[in-house]
Structures are given as structure tokens and as C-alpha cells.
């Protein structure tokens, strides 16, 4: 049982739970979700291994002997976490948690595999750390709904630093005092502004990697005796006030049924490599495409949306209609709708420099507008709606009340594994089945850190 909540800080209460957490308390569903997160994240690291942004982060890496997934090159633990986290999130194809939104695998998995190698952990500790870090990240997101984005920060970057730190502490069997100090230290390492939205630049890609490497440092410093603020979350100048000043934090949610109900079980795996809230709109557009609706004679295309996502996925509208970079296209609802209507798909190969120069895609994207639906349930659910009005008075419409891949329509294990294989093929990896089998061994808690080293290059 928790001690007197009135005198113990949030971080101290969390530390108490972390110190007594064991694999046995996790349900089969939670264990399966942790495995799927591992598989999805490793596949995404490989998919991005040939990209220019991964090459840039690798070039800046410190030398060492820790794994960079899909590469011969090794790096220091912190640099490996930075590269792997950047690669996992780089194509925006990683898991998401509705209610946040936050991405967990891209932060927690790189942090934990680096920690497992550094501290020579067995894979039961690795997988427990992944589950614990993911759960903490998701619960923190529920504690501060919409407010972190509103303050101009990326929730995955800010809250991910805490989640990954928590996961490493659990995996390493840290004592309560160390855990509380590590979380306190992590608060001064958490950051990640969302100015990338203005020009399609790369910084969002590095946020999970930066959080992952910060978590390694926070744990190592706390283990060495460095002291962090005990009220890092709720203090006058704590994370809740700093990163979410517009709301009163829902701290009770952080502890509600903690250890009994794992909210991470509801994590969504993306079917498309783009912004989370764009995806239901792509599904709607693809439904219209499947009906054979004409793309000539369109007067306008109007999408109902939530006010909370307008500044990230709709405005400035001219920029969203004509994305300046392939990366910016991933956060453009008009471009996603155009892909669904014109190509009937939205794959890794559809978010390219060539695609943003495609005259037909740009023509259709230029017709897309939005209207705010005050009844939209965001962030509790991500919805889609596309209405096409033709000059002759015809109207075609499609809507979807959930994000595919989530609780209402989850991807099956086979679909997640198929996505993994497709990601490896995109990244030019020749041994998809062998790598998947290796991930399954790790996910089943077999062996130890020596298996992680085998997640390297396919030669």
C-alpha cells in the first residue's frame, strides 16, 4: 500500500510503486503489448536507417560499443539511444496513445535497450522496463490532456523523458530514493518545442532520442548520488506548471488503479506513416476512393475537426495545402486527404519530395478546408470526416469515429508483423524473419543483453 499521500511527493509515490513492480503483475494483454511495441519500434529503426536525418545523427554520435539498430556502427550508450530514438520516430509511423497524444516505443525502447547493454540486464528486466516506462508515459499524458501541446511543447519529448527514466529505474531494480531523484533530475532534462510545425524541419524527429538519452543520464546520476527535486511534478516550478500551465493537472488519474489497470493496453499502432490525427481522414478519403467518386468537378472538400488539432495539422492552411517538405506533408491533413483520394494509399513511399510536387495531389489538397466541430471527442478519440461538394450539387461524404489500429479496430498480431516486414523491406534489410524471431525471443524474456547486440546489421 502507498504511504501517507499527503506528505509524500508525486515522484516519491511513483518510486514506491516502481520499486515493488514485478513482471508477474502484468496481464497477458500487457505483456503482448510490450512485445508488439518492441517489434514495431525495431522495424521502424530499420526502415529509417538509410535516411539523411539518421545519417546526420550517426555522424554526430560519440564512439562506443552500444547497438545502433540495423547498422554496423556502434556508439556510446547515450548516442545509441539518440540515434535509435530518432530513427524510430523519424517517419512518424510509431505507436500512439489516444488520450495524450504521446508516442511510447520510440522513447522507451531505445532507452531500455541501451540500458540493457550498459548494465548487462536480462531480457525479463528489459521487457518489464519497457512496460513500466510505457505505462508511466501514458498516465502522465492523461494527467495533462492537450495542455502540453498548448504550451508549445511536444508531449512525447517532455513526458517521454520521465517515462523512459522510470522504465530504466524499474529495469535496473533501483531503490526508491534513486528513482525519486532520477525523476527529479529528468525534469531538468525534459524539453522539445514544436516550432518544427512552422517549416517542416527535423527537430521533432530527434525528440524521442533526446528523451531516451536524457533518461540514461538521469538514472546514472541518481544512482551515483545526485539529488533531484522531490516535487519535480507538482512543485511551484515543477513540470506540471512549466509544461502545462493552462490546466489543473489530473493527478488522481496518475495513481488510479495503478498496478491493477494498465492503460498502455490501449496503445494504437499506426497503419500510415504520418501524424496521428491525420490517419482517420486518410481512411475516410480511401473509402471515397473505393466508391469510385470522381475527382473532377469538385467545388470544395470540407473536413470536420477538433479545435485542439487545428494549429498542428491545419494551420497555416496555405502551407498545409502545399507542404514545403516531405516531412511537413506528414502533418498536413489536406495532403493526407489528397493521398487517400488520388492514390488510395498512404505508405512510406508516398511521403516524398516527388509526392509533394505531384500536380494532382497538390490540386486536390488545395481544395481541402476544415470546420471545427465543438462536439469532437478529441483527445479521448481521434475521428475523421470528409465531405466533397461538387459544382453540380452532388455531395459525397465519409466519416470514421475512431483511429484504425486503436481499441475499436486494433491491428492484429499478423498485421503488426506484416508492417514489421514491410518496414524492413523499405530499409533494405535482407533477413526480416530472422530479426522478427529474435525480437520474439527478447519479447518472451529469453536470454539477456547479448541478444540485443544481434539486432545490428543484416550482413
Residue 52, classified by CB atoms within 10 Å of its CB into exposed (0-12), middle (13-18) or buried (19+), is: exposed
Does residue 433 share a domain with residue 345? no
Phi-psi region of 292 (alpha: psi -120 to 50; beta: other; left: phi over 0): left
Residue 374 lies in a domain: yes
Number of Cβ within 10 Å of residue 264's Cβ equals 26
Residues 386 and 450 in one domain: no
Residues 161 and 284 occupy one common structural domain = no
pLDDT of 198: 83
Residues in CB range of 261: below 8 A, 6 or more apart: none
**H runs (alpha helix) in 224-300:** 239-243, 251-255, 279-290
Q: Classify residue 336: in a domain, yes or no.
A: yes
CA-CA distance, 233 to 187, in Å (whole number)? Answer: 8
What gap in Å lies between CA 276 and CA 151, rounded to an integer?
A: 19
Residue 52 in grid coordinates: 539523411
Per-residue pLDDT tens listing for the chain (459 residues): 344 456 899 999 999 999 999 999 999 999 999 999 999 999 999 999 999 999 999 999 999 999 999 999 999 999 999 999 999 999 999 999 987 789 999 999 999 999 999 999 999 999 999 999 999 999 999 999 989 999 999 999 999 999 999 999 999 999 999 999 999 999 999 999 999 988 889 999 999 999 999 999 999 999 999 999 999 999 999 999 999 999 999 999 999 999 999 999 999 999 999 999 999 999 999 999 999 999 999 999 999 999 999 988 999 999 999 999 999 999 999 999 999 999 999 999 999 999 999 999 999 999 999 999 999 999 888 999 999 999 999 999 999 999 999 999 999 999 999 999 999 999 999 999 999 999 999 999 999 999 999 998 776
Q: Pairing state of beta strands 298-305 and 368-372?
A: parallel
Rounded CA separation 328/314 (Å): 11
Q: Are residues 237 and 334 in the same domain?
A: no
Both 288 and 260 in one domain: the answer is no
Last residue of a domain, one of 371, 400, 429: 400
* Beta strand ranges found along 234-383 (DSSP E): 298-305, 368-372
| Domain assignment present for 303 | yes
| Residue 122 and residue 45 in one domain | yes
* Residues 282, 258 share a domain: no
- 151: in domain: yes
CATH at residue 118: 1.10.4100.10
Q: What are phi and psi of 67, to 5 degrees?
A: -65, 130
Question: Do 47 and 103 belong together in one domain?
Answer: yes
How many domains are contained in the chain?
2
Question: 370 and 386 in contact (C-beta within 8 Å)?
Answer: no
Cβ pair 102, 96 in contact under 8 A: yes
Residue 423 lies in a domain: yes
Q: How far is CA 454 from the centre of its chain?
A: 24
Is 319 within a domain?
Answer: yes
Per the CB < 8 A criterion, the answer to whether 77 and 216 are in contact is: yes
126 and 240 housed in the same domain: yes
Dihedral over Cα of 263, 265, 271, 272: its sign: positive
> Both 131 and 191 in a single domain?
yes
Q: Sign of dihedral through CA atoms 427, 429, 434, 438?
A: negative
Give the span between the Cα atoms of 18 and 132, in whole angstroms.
Answer: 8
pLDDT score at 2: 43
**Residue that is written with C-alpha cell 495524450 in the block:** 100
**Domain extent at residue 132:** 10-270+413-455
**Nearest alpha-carbon partner for 299 in 388, 224, 409:** 388
> Is 130 inside any structural domain?
yes
Q: What is the pLDDT of residue 3?
A: 46
Domain endpoint, select from 400, 424, 440: 400
Whether 408 is covered by a domain: the verdict is: no
Amino acid at each position: 500500500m502507498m504511504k501517507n499521500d499527503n506528505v509524500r511527493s508525486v515522484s516519491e509515490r511513483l518510486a514506491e510503486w516502481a520499486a515493488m513492480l514485478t513482471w508477474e503483475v502484468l496481464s497477458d494483454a500487457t505483456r503482448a503489448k510490450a512485445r508488439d511495441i518492441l517489434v514495431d519500434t525495431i522495424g521502424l529503426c530499420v526502415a529509417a536507417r538509410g535516411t539523411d536525418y539518421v545519417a546526420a545523427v550517426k555522424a554526430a554520435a560519440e564512439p562506443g560499443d552500444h547497438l545502433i539498430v540495423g547498422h554496423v556502427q556502434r556508439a556510446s550508450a547515450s548516442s545509441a539511444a539518440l540515434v535509435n530514438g530518432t530513427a524510430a520516430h523519424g517517419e512518424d509511423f510509431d505507436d500512439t496513445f489516444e488520450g495524450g497524444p504521446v508516442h511510447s516505443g520510440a522513447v522507451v525502447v531505445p532507452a531500455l535497450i541501451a540500458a540493457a547493454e550498459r548494465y548487462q540486464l536480462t531480457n525479463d528486466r528489459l521487457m518489464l522496463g519497457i512496460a513500466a516506462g510505457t505505462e508511466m508515459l501514458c498516465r502522465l499524458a492523461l494527467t495533462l490532456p492537450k495542455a502540453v501541446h498548448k504550451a508549445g511543447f511536444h508531449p512525447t519529448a517532455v513526458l517521454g523523458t520521465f517515462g523512459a527514466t522510470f522504465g530504466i529505474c524499474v529495469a535496473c531494480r533501483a531503490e526508491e530514493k534513486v528513482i525519486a531523484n532520477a525523476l527529479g533530475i529528468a525534469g531538468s532534462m525534459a524539453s522539445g518545442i514544436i516550432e518544427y510545425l512552422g517549416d517542416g524541419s527535423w527537430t521533432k524527429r530527434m525528440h524521442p532520442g533526446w528523451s531516451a538519452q536524457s533518461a540514461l543520464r538521469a538514472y546514472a546520476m541518481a544512482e551515483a548520488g545526485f539529488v533531484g527535486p522531490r516535487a519535480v511534478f507538482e512543485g511551484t516550478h515543477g513540470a506540471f506548471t512549466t509544461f502545462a500551465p493552462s490546466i489543473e493537472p489530473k493527478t488522481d488519474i496518475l495513481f488510479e488503479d495503478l498496478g491493477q489497470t494498465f492503460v498502455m493496453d490501449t496503445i494504437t499502432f499506426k497503419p500510415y506513416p504520418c501524424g496521428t490525427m491525420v490517419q482517420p481522414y486518410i481512411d475516410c478519403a480511401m473509402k471515397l476512393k473505393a466508391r469510385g467518386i470522381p475527382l473532377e468537378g469538385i467545388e470544395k472538400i470540407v473536413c470536420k475537426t477538433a479545435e485542439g488539432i487545428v494549429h498542428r495539422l491545419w494551420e497555416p492552411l496555405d502551407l498545409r495545402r502545399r507542404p514545403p517538405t516531405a516531412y511537413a506533408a506528414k502533418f498536413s491533413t489536406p495532403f493526407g486527404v489528397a493521398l487517400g483520394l488520388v492514390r488510395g494509399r498512404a505508405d512510406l513511399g508516398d511521403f516524398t519530395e516527388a509526392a509533394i510536387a505531384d500536380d494532382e495531389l497538390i490540386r486536390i489538397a488545395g481544395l481541402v478546408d476544415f470546420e471545427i466541430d465543438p462536439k469532437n471527442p478529441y483527445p479521448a478519440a481521434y475521428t475523421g470526416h470528409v465531405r466533397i461538394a461538387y459544382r453540380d450539387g452532388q455531395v459525397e461524404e465519409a466519416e470514421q469515429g475512431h483511429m484504425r489500429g486503436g481499441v475499436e479496430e486494433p491491428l492484429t498480431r499478423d498485421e503488426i508483423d506484416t508492417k514489421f516486414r514491410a518496414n524492413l523491406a523499405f530499409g533494405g534489410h535482407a533477413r526480416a524473419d530472422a530479426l522478427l524471431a529474435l525480437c520474439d525471443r527478447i519479447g518472451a524474456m529469453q536470454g539477456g543483453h547479448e541478444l540485443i547486440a544481434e539486432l545490428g546489421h543484416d550482413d
